[in-house]
Amino acid sequence: MSCLHCGHLSASEVNYCSLCGAALQTSAKSEPGLSHLLRPRSPRMIAGVCSGIALFYGWDVTLVRILLALFTCLTTGVGMLLYVAAWLLLPEAQYALPPGSQTGSSVPPPASFN
């Protein structure tokens, strides 16, 4: 199962991502892909387009990057235009809380210097 927040692959029987701590949702799509195409926040090099495509289809991200580079070279830059279009059109994954943090936890206020 893939985490929608960080893209980390986890075992199917766990409920929370071991990397970012986000709650995992079951997807209608078969694993390891995502239920919809997103630009994950990690792992990404520039905008996360190649990582999102790789996670969605269950491919290796390096393979997607190599294919994009080859397509860009063979089509004299059309691949780069498609990359920028995907960057603008694909939604970005939400931020995730770091492992161990809880929403609504009582954090002591900062010390005042009176």
Question: Which conformational region is residue 76 in: left (phi greater than 0), alpha (psi within -120 to 50 degrees), or beta?
Answer: left
Q: What is the pTM of this model?
A: 0.54
33-88 pLDDT tens trace:
456 787 887 777 888 899 888 888 888 999 999 999 999 999 988 999 999 999 99
99 HSE (CA, 13 A, CB side): 6
Report d(CA 43, CA 52) in Å as an integer: 9
